[in-house]
């Protein structure tokens, strides 16, 4: 086999080798079925078994309470930017958002097409390097929900305590740290996440929704595929699901369970990112201004003094088999993503490289 | 390896063994990259190569003319039921549909949320067993497009000549026979198709759109992910694509090219379905009322005199390793799907079984 690289991409990103090997082994024939998961009709018992394996593993791992439904959809978090307002608010209703950067701005942009959204707080004054505090009095009267971005893939920040929004339903985009840090589903009305960072591959979007938070019936303008009620009623099989991605989520979630569940993942992610933050904090070269309590456990960002040094860092890292270390095109710098699928070795490797890079300057 | 079954499912369905084996071989590391396609950031050169392999193969195979764009999206044909009216019509505009059955009804249901759609013809009088003729005078004045369902997966009918709609843009859902029969893209304003039947796996939706047919700018209510202009401008990378499904489409399209392209596929599909239609037409047991000129090349439907016999047929077929032979839940009976990925052997096998089943009654 070709030597595998160390992949620090922000998603899609590294999957555990065991998970990939299992997928490879059964690719031609899912055990007992004589055909590939990719060839499987979604109206068969065999597919329903996979569908339920994924759903049930998510329920167990996230302690999903009664009254919530787990949906396995397409369209990514970007699709949810529209679905959330369309299903939790009526046209023109007030909905509140926390401005923590790039993806919060994308989310509110889509909400504006349907509702009356407003940023009720922002960390833009410090270039999104912290998590702005929220108290119930900051929310607008009659707002239908508060939307937060749980972990900021681009900026490298994360909520480690949920905001206090009183009785207002909390909606959170946990795309980049779902199952990578412990969160209390019961405190949310809705959670959504693309699967491609911590719990599977691109093409699957997981939504965990409190059923009675959804407006029923939906506004007649809401397309069936964007209607949570339709998806709940049809168990996410309103149309042909992204079967292979659902299968990969089942494998990945079962792997997470075998490692000890989300608590074990959080501990490992804390250790991995901790190694890299340690290098940064002890360094005179790398800069990360985020207060420790607001730092992401899975996306470590750092600035270097110049674009030239950033380019050189990336080039030299790649020469040692470490890829995708550059920050998002909107912010530059470095970004080291260490999701659930990345072993400790990935953190050790980059931490060591960072130290050597600084020494050799 | 576990013995592979003969899979007659209506989609997802059989893929060529060579395609699956190639995917399996490179699953842990895409050649030269040291990581799986499933782990690949969509912002890398490696992924762009796969993205362009898929796009370019589609362009070559379908002879996509200048002025058209090939989009690689999520959400299935069901998503396109909404995207088409949202992007080709303004709210309340007239849009015309041909009623050829189940999926045409789903398509018009979604169009109603946005525009003023109407069925301008129907074959419901004969239970959708034929393709209703269309002449330009049947279209409503000022209609923005005519929508047809090219191949009817459930009913087993197909257009073999495009309707004459004069100057009105033609939109077609070719989900179940894209690349399985030759069609003239230049006669369409827009073609859409789920990839999971003839050209790949579920999770990828292909749209081939004439750029100047799209309303630009779109209505402000159209979500970015449903906005063709946004997807065109961002080369279908507005958000994380379903990378593995795009990769499988690249492999499948390149395989089709190696077989001789769409013309070769059509000839093979004609031969395969012809074998099964022959059995039906010579039989006293199986019934297919569709005029020969309207029959699908990829979905052969047949009725048996009773549900009991249908169940027995399916059970005995499965005992011989032939699965998914039952018709869609909405119509019952049998359905034998023989898409591009199904070798001639699949047709021979079921044709032989059907004859034996009848003889042994």
* pLDDT at site B299: 98
* pLDDT at site A2: 83
Q: Is B239 on the interface with A (CB under 8 A)?
A: yes
* pLDDT at site B344: 98
Residue B2 binned pLDDT confidence (cut-offs 50, 70, 90): confident
C-alpha distances out from residue B212 to A303, B60, B169, B190, Å = 43, 21, 11, 11
| Chain A residues with CB-CB distance to B203 below 8 A | 74, 203, 242-245
0.95 surpassed by pTM = yes
Query: Residue B1: is its pLDDT beyond 80?
Result: no
As a whole number of angstroms, the distance between CA B283 and CA A72 comes to 44
Task: Give the ipTM of the model, two decimals please.
Answer: 0.98
As a whole number of angstroms, the distance between CA A14 and CA A196 comes to 9
For residues A232 and A211, the answer to whether their CB atoms sit within 8 Å is yes
CA atoms within 13 A on the CB side of B108: 22
* Chain A: residue whose CA lies nearest to B222: A113
Query: Residue B234: is its pLDDT beyond 90?
Result: yes
Query: Residue A236: is its pLDDT beyond 90?
Result: yes
Q: Do B41 and A2 touch (CB under 8 A)?
A: no
Name, in order, each residue with C-beta under 8 angstroms of B124's C-beta and a sequence gap of 6 or more. Answer: B99
Mean pLDDT of the B248-255 span: 98
Mean pLDDT of the B103-111 span: 98
Q: Do A9 and B241 touch (CB under 8 A)?
A: no
> In the structure encoding, which two tokens stand for residue A259, read together?
């490692």
pLDDT above 90 covers a percentage of chain B that reads: 99
* Residue that has been written with the tokens 């490992």 in this structure: A268
Query: Residue A243: is its pLDDT beyond 90?
Result: yes
Residue B217 binned pLDDT confidence (cut-offs 50, 70, 90): very high
Among candidate residues B57, B162, B42, B150, the one with its CA nearest the CA of residue B100: B150
Helix or strand (DSSP H, E) at B1 = none
For residues B38 and A252, the answer to whether their CB atoms sit within 8 Å is no
Mean pLDDT of the B316-331 span: 96
Mean pLDDT of the B139-166 span: 97
Among candidate residues B211, B168, B200, the one with its CA nearest the CA of residue B187: B168
As a whole number of angstroms, the distance between CA B48 and CA B243 comes to 10
For residues A171 and A190, the answer to whether their CB atoms sit within 8 Å is yes
In B97-156, the residues whose Cβ lies within 8 Å of chain A are 109-110, 113-114
As a whole number of angstroms, the distance between CA A87 and CA A105 comes to 19
Cβ neighbours of B217 (radius 10 Å): 10
Mean pLDDT of the B157-185 span: 97
> In the structure encoding, which two tokens stand for residue B246, read together?
């795009």
Q: What's the pLDDT tens digit per position in A258-307? A: 999 999 999 999 999 999 999 999 999 999 999 999 999 999 999 999 99
Q: Is B35 on the interface with A (CB under 8 A)?
A: yes
As a whole number of angstroms, the distance between CA A240 and CA A237 comes to 6
In A146-185, the residues whose Cβ lies within 8 Å of chain B are none
Q: Do B28 and A10 touch (CB under 8 A)?
A: no
Residue B306 binned pLDDT confidence (cut-offs 50, 70, 90): very high
Mean pLDDT of the A76-87 span: 98
C-alpha distances out from residue B132 to B96, B153, B328, B354, Å = 14, 16, 22, 30
Q: Is A329 on the interface with B (CB under 8 A)?
A: yes
Q: Do A24 and B27 touch (CB under 8 A)?
A: yes
As a whole number of angstroms, the distance between CA A271 and CA A209 comes to 31
Q: Do A15 and B36 touch (CB under 8 A)?
A: yes
| Chain B residues with CB-CB distance to A18 below 8 A | none
Q: What's the pLDDT tens digit per position in B270-295? A: 999 999 999 999 999 999 999 999 99
Q: Is B27 on the interface with A (CB under 8 A)?
A: yes
φ and ψ at A99, to 5 degrees?
Answer: -90, 100
Q: Which of B15, B29, B222 sits opposite A4 (nearest CB)?
A: B29
Residue A35 binned pLDDT confidence (cut-offs 50, 70, 90): very high
* pLDDT at site A301: 98
Helix (H) and strand (E) counts for chain B?
9, 13
| Chain A residues with CB-CB distance to B244 below 8 A | 201-203, 244-245
Q: Distance from A203 to chain B by nearest Cα, in Å?
A: 4
As a whole number of angstroms, the distance between CA A225 and CA A324 comes to 34
Q: Is A224 on the interface with B (CB under 8 A)?
A: yes
pLDDT above 90 covers a percentage of chain A that reads: 99
* pLDDT at site A205: 98
Query: Residue A1: is its pLDDT beyond 80?
Result: no
Helix or strand (DSSP H, E) at A299 = strand A299-302
Q: Distance from A306 to chain B by nearest Cα, in Å?
A: 22
DSSP letters, B192-255, are EEESTTTTS-TT-EEEEEEGGGS-SSPPTTS-GGG-HHHHHHTTT-SS---HHHHHHHHHHHHH
Residue B28 binned pLDDT confidence (cut-offs 50, 70, 90): very high
| Chain A residues with CB-CB distance to B224 below 8 A | 78, 109-110
Q: Is B1 on the interface with A (CB under 8 A)?
A: yes
């Amino acid at each position: 086999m070709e030597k595998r690289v160390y992949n620090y991409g922000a998603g899609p990103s590294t999957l555990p080798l065991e998970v990939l090997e299992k997928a490879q082994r059964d690719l031609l024939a899912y055990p007992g079925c004589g055909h590939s998961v990719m060839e499987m009709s979604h109206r068969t018992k065999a597919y329903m078994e996979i569908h339920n394996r994924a759903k049930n593993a998510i329920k167990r791992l996230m302690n999903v309470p009664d009254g919530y439904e787990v949906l396995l959809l397409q369209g990514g978090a970007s699709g949810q930017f529209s679905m959330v307002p369309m299903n939790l608010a009526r046209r023109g209703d007030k909905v509140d958002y926390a401005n923590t950067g790039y993806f919060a701005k994308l989310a509110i942009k889509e909400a504006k097409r349907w509702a009356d959204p407003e940023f009720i707080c922002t960390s833009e004054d410090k270039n999104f390097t912290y998590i702005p505090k929220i108290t119930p009095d900051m929310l607008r009267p009659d707002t239908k929900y508060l939307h937060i971005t749980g972990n900021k893939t681009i900026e490298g920040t994360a909520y480690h305590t949920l905001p206090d929004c009183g009785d207002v339903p909390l909606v959170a985009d946990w795309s980049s740290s779902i199952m990578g840090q412990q969160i209390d589903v019961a405190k949310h009305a809705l959670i959504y996440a693309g699967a491609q960072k911590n719990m599977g591959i691109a093409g699957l979007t997981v939504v965990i929704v409190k059923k009675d938070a959804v407006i029923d019936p939906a506004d007649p303008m809401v397309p069936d595929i964007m209607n949570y009620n339709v998806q709940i009623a049809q168990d996410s099989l309103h149309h042909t699901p992204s079967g292979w991605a659902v299968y990969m989520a089942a494998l990945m979630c079962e792997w997470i369970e075998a490692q000890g569940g989300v608590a074990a993942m959080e501990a490992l992610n804390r250790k991995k990112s901790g190694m890299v933050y340690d290098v940064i904090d002890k360094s005179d070269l790398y800069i990360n201004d985020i207060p420790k309590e607001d730092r992401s456990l899975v996306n470590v960002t750092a600035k270097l003094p110049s674009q030239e040094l950033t380019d050189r860092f990336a080039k030299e890292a790649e020469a040692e088999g470490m890829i995708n270390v550059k920050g998002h095109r909107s912010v530059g710098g470095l970004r080291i993503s260490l999701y659930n699928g990345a072993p400790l070795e990935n953190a050790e490797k980059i931490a060591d490289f960072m130290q050597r890079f600084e020494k050799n300057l």
